[in-house]
């Protein structure tokens, strides 16, 4: 198990190297550059700027310099935000984005699985119909519609929760609306997924055996059904987490959340090469680690899987 873990973590290195290399050259292929403005920068100043950021070096040299820096976890200066380094932007934004992401994921799993259980046990009765309808809405309404709608009703009309801005302004109340919005499609999907797989497991032989043995219904559900039925849900957590992390980019704009998502979009528009690279690297690490964790949890749930 420990060896498996170490091997997986080590495999991060070649993966990241490929990602860094591809992104480094791809973003430089895009037309424009970090110093392009509506008011053109005079040639003189442009030259000074290129020199300042070593962009007058040959591309190969720039690439090697970047690799050297990134090994020391120095993501470089932002080309746009002159007073801060990319490391500082990530250090400030990452805890915020992670707070939002993890809260949303927990919320999606907890509510999704509960609704899934209820609707499977009450199949084709009204709780099931309600749950399925909510899930359809959740899957089909995009985040950028859901967010403003919740803002309008819960934030502006009912004034129950803040419409935007983060913990430093409103305390933990600020997390609620963005987390609900962000988790909603995943909640819906998890609800449908767990409903389907619980229904399937309920019909299997070992559950019939458990019932035949005279076990209490709650023990059957909690001990036998859930363990088997949660496997597809856990598998889905990997993609769900990446979805939540990237979806957070939209939510951060709608709810003014100071995470790493908004600067990511801005960096792409501004061609802020170092910031784009830094964000890509951080997102890659998050996604790879999330998949690793899912794989490990999988092993605990399914004894047929062993780590070698």
Partner 1 sequence: MKRSLFVLFALISVFALSAQNFTIVNGTEPVSLDPHAVEGVPEHRIYMALFEGLTIGDPKTNRALPGLAKSWTFSKDYKTITFELRDATWSDGTPITADTCVKSWLRKMDPKNAFQYADLPASYIEGGMEYLSGKAGPDAVKIRAVDKTHFEVKLVGPTPFFPDMVVHYAFAIVPIHAIEKYGNNWVKAENWVSNGPFVLKEWKPQERVVVVKNPKYWDAKNVGLKQVTFLANDDVNVGYNLYKSGAADWIDTVPLELMDQIKLDKNFHVAPEYGTYYYIINVTRKPLDDARVRKALAMAVDKNALVSQVTKGGQVPADSFVPPSTGYTPAKGFAFNPEAARKLLADAGFPGGKGFPSFSILYNTSASHKKIAEFVQSQWKNNLGIDVALVNQEWGTYLDTRSQSHNFDIARAGWIADYLDPSTFSDMWITGGTQNDGLYSNKKYDEFINKAKVTSGAERMKALGDAEKVLIDDDMAILPLYFYVTQNMIDLNKWEGWYPNPMNQHPWKFVRPKQ
Nearest-approach distance from CB 69 to partner 1, in angstroms: 18
Dmax (CA) for the chain in angstroms is 86
258, 166 Cβ separation under 8 angstroms: yes
* Binding interface with partner 1 (CB under 8 A): 30-33, 36-45, 48-49, 51-52, 80-84, 88-89, 92-93, 148, 151-152, 155-156, 163-166, 168, 253-254, 256, 258-259, 262-263, 266, 269-271
Nearest-approach distance from CB 22 to partner 1, in angstroms: 19
Please identify, using beta-carbon distances, which residue of 233 and 250 lies nearer to partner 1.
Answer: 250
Please identify, using beta-carbon distances, which residue of 64 and 156 lies nearer to partner 1.
Answer: 156
Indicate if the alpha-carbon torsion angle 186, 277, 250, 169 is positive or negative. Answer: positive
Nearest-approach distance from CB 55 to partner 1, in angstroms: 11
Q: Which residues pair with 77 in a beta bridge?
A: 85
Please identify, using beta-carbon distances, which residue of 258 and 299 lies nearer to partner 1.
Answer: 258
Nearest-approach distance from CB 308 to partner 1, in angstroms: 44
Quote the CA–CA distance of 234 and 53 in Å, as a whole number.
45
93 contacts: CB under 8 Å, gap ≥ 6: 258, 259, 260, 261, 263
Q: How many residues does the chain have?
A: 308
Quote the CA–CA distance of 225 and 208 in Å, as a whole number.
11
Please identify, using beta-carbon distances, which residue of 166 and 283 lies nearer to partner 1.
Answer: 166
Please identify, using beta-carbon distances, which residue of 80 and 195 lies nearer to partner 1.
Answer: 80
């Amino acid at each position: 198990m420990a060896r498996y873990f170490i091997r997986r973590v080590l495999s991060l290195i070649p993966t990241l190297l490929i990602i860094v290399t591809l992104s480094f050259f791809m973003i430089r292929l895009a037309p424009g550059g970090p110093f392009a403005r509506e008011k053109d920068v005079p040639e003189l100043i442009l030259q000074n700027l290129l020199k300042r950021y070593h962009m007058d070096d040959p591309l190969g040299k720039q690439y090697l310099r970047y690799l050297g820096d990134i090994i020391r976890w120095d993501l470089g200066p932002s080309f746009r935000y002159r007073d801060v380094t990319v490391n500082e932007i990530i250090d400030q934004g990452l805890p915020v984005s992670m707070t939002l992401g993890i809260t949303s994921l927990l919320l999606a799993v907890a509510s999704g699985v509960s609704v899934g259980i209820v609707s499977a046990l009450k199949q084709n009765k009204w709780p099931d119909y309600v749950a399925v309808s909510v899930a359809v809405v959740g899957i089909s309404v995009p985040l950028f519609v859901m967010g403003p709608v919740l803002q309008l009703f819960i934030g502006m009309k009912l004034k129950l929760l803040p419409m935007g801005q983060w913990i430093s302004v409103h305390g933990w109340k600020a997390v609620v609306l963005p987390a609900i919005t962000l988790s909603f499609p995943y909640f819906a999907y998890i609800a449908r997924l767990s409903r389907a797989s619980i229904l399937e497991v309920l019909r299997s032989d070992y559950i019939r055996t458990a019932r035949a043995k005279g076990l209490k219904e709650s023990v059957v559900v909690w001990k036998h059904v859930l363990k088997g039925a949660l496997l597809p849900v856990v598998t889905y957590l990997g993609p769900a987490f990446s979805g939540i992390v990237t979806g957070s980019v939209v939510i951060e704009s709608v709810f003014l959340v100071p995470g790493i998502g908004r600067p990511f979009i801005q960096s792409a528009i501004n061609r802020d090469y170092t910031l784009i690279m830094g964000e890509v690297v951080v997102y890659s690490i998050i996604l790879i680690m999330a998949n690793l964790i899912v794989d490990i949890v999988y092993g605990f749930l399914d004894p047929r899987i062993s780590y070698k």
